[in-house]
Amino acid sequence: MISSIIFTVLLLATVFVFVRRIREIKSNINLGRDIDLSGNSSERWATMARVALGQSKMTARPLAAFLHVIVYVGFILINIEILEIVIDGLFGTHRVLYSVIGAEAYHFFISVFEVLALLVIVACLAFLVRRNIGKLKRFTGKEMTTWPTSDANIILIAECLLMFALLTMNAADSNLFAMGAEVLMASGLDHYAHVSFDSWFWVSGFLTGMLPNDPMALFYIERACWWFHIIGIFAFLVYVTYSKHFHIILAFPNTYYSKLAPAGEFNNLESVKKEVELMMDPNADPFAAPAPDAAPQRFGAKDVNDLTWKQIMESYTCTECGRCTSECPANQTGKLLSPRKIMMDTRDRAEELGKLKREKGADFDDGKSLINDYITPEELWACTSCNACTQACPVNINPLEIIVDLRRYLVMEESAAPAELNGMFTNIENNGAPWQFAQADRLNWKDEA
């Protein structure tokens, strides 16, 4: 009874903290402008199934894809065993599904889960070696400070420990079950006596010989591993909302709301479109007062609240894998631009501004902005708009859209384009072409032919 009460309190506390954090993230995402992405549902479902569920874009790097699939499948299927642990914790039962599905099926499923757990350990160890010994270049960069680097290692080590605890728990249970119902009941372990197996589980069976034969010692080992495993799961559930691993949740809505138009197609700014419509419509009243509740529209984006909610959601979906930056031609030539940093900076700014607005009111302005305080114009103008970053992202994040919106603000509101671009803009305005030749001289070339 005491164990069930403690478990229930921990479960409720975890759910409370998790839900509160999800609300914070939702509030931060809603800082962005509204955008309607409700159309083309069949194509969106297909994209989500292919990219998020099927992980189709991971195959560009086969080794990483193979290891990631192991962890991904293991994470999904092992949660079935976690469901049993939660039921046992709430109601004080032990191996409750054994009585539901029968001995043979239970032994088979737990053994399969153990194989997955072992493969997860192997995959996580391989990832740790790749990150910390192999030191792949895409895992480095100025944005990969102590926290992003530690975050990846923390999760990988935690997953190894959780899987090892699961295997040790099963090994201790196997030894207890092998002692028979009479021995267990004589030791006061009545609720363990209903389980009986003729063989060990497939993986933890190799650990049984390393454990003691005393029933109470096995009981304490099993309980210690049980509590370690489930508390670790609860901690992971909270931790993941502060981690890059939040993509295990957001990858699905993010790919569902992927950009379906051609990658090189830019959207029209509504604020500019309205100006053009006024010029083209002879019946339009240029002095008509705007709607009373209409906020003035900014040209481009200066801060996160000028971006769309989808763009902010993408920043929370970023896995920090570095594929975008490793494919970026500007970054490869030594320029400051790192698409991964663009997404991480956007998320950090949304976190900062969202927290301030919740504490000090929706109208609070801290005097900072995404441009200059987080992302420099030099980074933005290094972008070639080639879409390599978007193509490389395994969860369909589009850093280019954020870069373009920030550059639009610099050009249209700050007149802060590089000198080369200003010269081109002037030529287009005066000559109707990017070259410094008068329109009257445009056909002079034919006289020289």
pLDDT digits (tens, 9 = 90+) for 16-59: 999 999 999 999 999 999 999 988 999 999 999 999 999 999 98
CA 191 to chain centre: 41
Q: Which two tokens stand for residue 276?
A: 């053009």
The CA-atom distances, in angstroms, between 319 and each of 241, 341, 343, 364, 396 are: 13, 12, 10, 30, 11
**Does position 295 have pLDDT exceeding 80, yes or no?**
no
pLDDT of residue 243: 93
| Dihedral angle sign, alpha carbons of residues 162, 166, 169, 175 | negative
**Does position 242 have pLDDT exceeding 70, yes or no?**
yes
Buried b (16+ CB within 10 A) or exposed e, 221-232: bbeebbbbbbeb
Phi-psi region of 141 (alpha: psi -120 to 50; beta: other; left: phi over 0): left
What is the CA angle 251-257-259, rounded to 5?
A: 110
pLDDT of residue 78: 80
Q: DSSP string covering 9-50, please?
A: HHHHHHHHHHHHHHHHHHHHHTTSBP----S-HHHHHHHHII
pLDDT of residue 294: 56
Among the listed residues 405, 421, 403, 401, the one whose alpha carbon sits nearest the alpha carbon of residue 413: 405
What is the band of 293 on the pLDDT scale with cuts at 50, 70, 90?
Answer: low
CA 149 to chain centre: 15
Q: Which two tokens stand for residue 156?
A: 């990988």
Least confident window among 143-152, 336-345, 366-375, 399-408: 143-152
pLDDT digits (tens, 9 = 90+) for 172-218: 999 988 888 888 888 888 878 888 877 789 999 999 999 998 999 99
pLDDT of residue 402: 96
CB atoms within 10 A of CB 336: 15
pLDDT digits (tens, 9 = 90+) for 268-280: 887 787 778 777 8
Between 448 and 411, where is the model more confident? Answer: 411
Task: Tell me if the pTM is above 0.75.
Answer: yes
pLDDT digits (tens, 9 = 90+) for 412-440: 888 888 888 888 888 888 888 888 888 88
Between 195 and 394, where is the model more confident? Answer: 394
pLDDT of residue 423: 86
**Does position 76 have pLDDT exceeding 90, yes or no?**
no
Share of the chain above pLDDT 90, in %: 63
What is the band of 291 on the pLDDT scale with cuts at 50, 70, 90?
Answer: low
What is the band of 286 on the pLDDT scale with cuts at 50, 70, 90?
Answer: low
Q: Which two tokens stand for residue 314?
A: 């993408």
Average pLDDT over residues 219-230: 95
Query: How high does pLDDT run on average in the chain?
Result: 90
**Does position 333 have pLDDT exceeding 70, yes or no?**
yes
**Does position 289 have pLDDT exceeding 70, yes or no?**
no
**Does position 443 have pLDDT exceeding 90, yes or no?**
no
The CA-atom distances, in angstroms, between 147 and each of 33, 150, 152, 242, 244 are: 29, 5, 9, 11, 10
Give the separation between CA 121 and CA 127, rounded to whole angstroms.
10
